C-alpha cells in the first residue's frame, strides 16, 4: 500500500529527502540487533540505522535493542507480527514448516559460490532476485503481517569445524556432526556421518568432551562462540557448498503502510547501505578474525577429498531437485529452474564487474584490508537489478 505525502525519485540527494520529510512527524521504529552495541555481529544493522537517521534529518529514528533482547531467533517473526518489533531480521531456517517456500530457497543456497570474495557477493544477490519473483515466498510473510524488504541475505558461508582433521568419506564415517537444519542432515548423511542437534551454547563443551566431532556453523558463530579453540580444523569446499542459514529483513506490515511514502522510499533506498555493510562490515572482517583464530589453534581451512566432494555434490543436487516437489510452490519445477538460472547469472555478473578471488580463505587475513575491495559497483548493480523494481511508488 502506498503511504501518503510527497514522492522522492530514486537517486535523490540527502537534502531532497530531508525536504520531503520536513513536514512529517518524528517516526520511531523499534528494532533489534543480533550483537552487542558496536560489535561486528550487528554492524550491518547499526550502519543501516545510522544512514536512515542521517538521510531523514532525524525524522526517522530507531529504538534499538541489542543482542536480540526483544525476541530470540525462533520468535522474531512473532515479535514483528504482534508489533513488539517494527523492523527485524527473520531467520526462517528455524521454522521451515511456517515458511516452507522460503526454506526451499534457503536450502537452494547450496548452489552459491563458496569462495572468499566472489562467494560473499554472489550469494547475497541471487536469492533476493528469486524471492521477489516467487509469489509464495512473499505471501508467507504477508500472511503473518510482515512486509518483506530484503530477502535471503547471509552473514557468510557455512563451514564444518572439527576437533581433528577430516576430509574423506572414511574420515566422516560414523562421526557425530552438529547441524541446524533438515537439509544439513541430508548432507551429513551423504558424508556417512551422523547428524545431531546441539544447542549453540553447549557446542563448545560438546566438542571439547568429544560428544560431537564437528559442528556445521558459520565462521561468525564459530568465532563468537569460541568453537575454533576446540575445533580449528575447518572445511569449506569451493565446489560443494554446505547449507547456509539466511535471514530476511522485514517490517511490520501495518506500521509500514502508515509511513509517509518518502519514509518508505528512504528505508528502501538505504538497503544499499545494509547490503554493503553485510559484506564489508560483517562477512569479511569476521572471515579475517576466523582465519586468525583457526591458525592460532593449529588448524587451517581445507577442501573435501574427491570422494567426499562428489558425495556432497550429489546430495546438493538432490536437495535442489527436491524443491520441485515442495507443495507450497505452485510450480516447483519452474522454481528449481529459477534458482539455477539466478545463481549462474549472478556468478557471471560478479565476474563481469571485475571481482576475483586473489587469495583463498587461508590467505585472506593477511591479504585483506578494508579498502582492498571496492564493492560499490556491486551494491549499485544489485540494488538496481533486484530492489529498485520493487521500490515503493
Identify whether the C-beta of residue 212 lies closer than 8 Å to the C-beta of residue 203: yes
Angle between helix axes 182-190 and 306-322 (nearest 10 degrees) is: 140
Phi and psi at 273, nearest 5°, equal: -65, -45
Angle between helix axes 135-142 and 100-107 (nearest 10 degrees) is: 130
pLDDT by position in tens, the chain (length 393): 456 899 999 999 999 999 999 999 999 999 999 999 999 989 999 999 999 999 999 999 999 999 999 999 999 999 999 999 999 999 999 899 999 999 999 999 999 999 999 999 999 999 999 999 999 999 999 999 999 999 999 989 999 999 999 999 999 999 999 998 999 999 999 999 999 999 888 999 999 999 999 999 999 889 888 999 999 999 999 899 999 889 999 999 999 999 999 999 999 999 999 999 999 999 999 999 999 999 999 999 999 999 999 999 999 999 999 999 999 999 999 999 999 999 999 999 999 999 999 999 999 999 999 999 999 999 999 999 999 999 999
Domain extents in the chain: 14-159+241-295+315-390, 160-240+301-314
Cβ neighbors of 39 (< 8 A, separation 6 or more) are: none
Architecture of domain 160-240+301-314 in CATH? 3-Layer(aba) Sandwich (3.40)
| pLDDT for 83 | 97
Grid cell of 255 as nine digits: 506500521
DSSP state, 133?
Answer: T
Q: In angstroms, rounded to a whole number, what is the distance separating the alpha carbons of residues 242 and 263?
A: 38
Quick one: which of 282, 375, 220, 258 has its CA closest to 5? 258
Q: How many other CB atoms are there within 10 angstroms of residue 63's CB atom?
A: 13
Instruction: Classify residue 70 as left (phi > 0), alpha (psi -120 to 50) or beta.
Output: alpha
| pLDDT for 224 | 86
Q: In angstroms, rounded to a whole number, what is the distance separating the alpha carbons of residues 262 and 18?
A: 9
- The reply to whether domains 14-159+241-295+315-390 and 160-240+301-314 share a CATH topology is yes
- pTM of the shown model: 0.95
Q: Which CATH superfamily is domain 14-159+241-295+315-390 in?
A: Bacterial extracellular solute-binding protein, family 7 (3.40.190.170)
Identify whether the C-beta of residue 128 lies closer than 8 Å to the C-beta of residue 186: no
Identify whether the C-beta of residue 333 lies closer than 8 Å to the C-beta of residue 320: no
Q: How many other CB atoms are there within 10 angstroms of residue 6's CB atom?
A: 15
Amino acid at each position: 500500500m502506498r503511504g501518503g505525502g510527497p514522492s522522492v525519485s530514486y537517486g535523490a540527494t540527502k537534502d531532497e529527502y530531508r525536504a520531503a520529510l520536513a513536514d512529517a512527524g518524528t517516526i520511531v521504529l523499534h528494532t533489534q540487533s543480533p550483537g552487542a552495541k558496536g560489535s561486528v555481529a550487528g554492524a550491518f544493522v547499526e550502519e543501516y540505522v545510522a544512514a536512515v537517521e542521517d538521510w531523514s534529518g532525524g525524522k526517522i529514528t530507531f529504538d534499538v535493542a541489542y543482542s536480540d533482547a526483544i525476541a530470540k531467533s525462533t520468535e522474531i517473526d512473532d515479535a514483528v507480527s504482534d508489533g513488539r518489533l517494527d523492523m527485524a531480521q527473520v531467520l526462517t531456517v528455524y521454522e521451515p514448516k511456517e515458511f516452507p517456500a522460503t526454506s526451499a530457497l534457503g536450502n537452494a543456497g547450496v548452489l552459491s559460490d563458496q569462495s572468499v570474495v566472489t562467494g560473499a557477493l554472489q550469494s547475497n544477490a541471487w536469492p533476493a532476485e528469486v524471492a521477489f519473483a516467487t509469489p509464495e515466498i512473499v505471501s508467507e510473510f504477508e500472511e503473518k503481517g510482515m512486509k518483506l524488504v530484503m530477502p535471503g541475505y547471509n552473514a557468510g558461508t557455512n563451514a564444518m569445524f572439527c576437533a581433528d582433521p577430516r576430509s574423506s568419506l572414511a574420515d566422516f564415517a560414523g562421526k557425530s556432526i552438529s547441524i541446524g537444519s533438515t537439509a544439513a542432515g541430508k548432507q551429513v548423511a551423504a558424508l556417512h556421518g551422523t547428524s545431531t542437534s546441539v544447542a549453540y551454547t553447549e557446542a563448545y563443551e560438546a566438542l571439547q568432551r568429544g560428544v560431537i566431532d564437528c559442528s556445521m556453523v558459520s565462521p561468525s558463530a564459530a568465532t563468537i562462540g569460541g568453537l575454533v579453540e576446540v575445533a580449528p580444523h575447518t572445511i569449506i569446499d569451493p565446489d560443494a557448498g554446505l547449507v547456509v542459514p539466511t535471514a530476511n529483513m522485514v517490517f511490520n506490515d501495518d506500521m509500514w503502510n502508515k509511513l509517509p511514502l518518502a519514509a518508505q522510499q528512504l528505508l528502501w533506498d538505504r538497503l544499499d547501505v545494509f547490503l554493503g555493510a553485510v559484506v564489508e562490515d560483517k562477512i569479511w572482517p569476521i572471515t579475517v578474525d576466523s582465519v586468525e583464530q583457526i591458525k592460532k589453534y593449529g588448524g587451517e581451512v581445507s577442501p573435501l577429498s574427491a570422494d567426499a566432494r562428489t558425495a556432497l555434490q550429489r546430495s546438493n543436487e538432490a536437495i535442489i531437485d527436491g524443491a520441485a516437489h515442495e507443495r507450497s510452490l505452485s510450480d516447483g519445477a519452474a522454481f528449481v529452474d529459477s534458482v539455477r538460472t539466478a545463481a549462474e547469472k549472478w556468478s557471471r555478473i560478479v565476474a563481469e564487474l571485475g571481482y576475483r578471488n586473489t587469495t583463498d580463505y587461508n590467505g585472506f587475513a593477511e591479504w585483506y584490508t578494508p579498502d582492498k575491495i571496492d564493492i560499490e559497483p556491486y551494491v549499485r548493480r544489485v540494488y538496481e537489478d533486484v530492489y529498485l523494481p520493487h521500490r515503493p511508488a
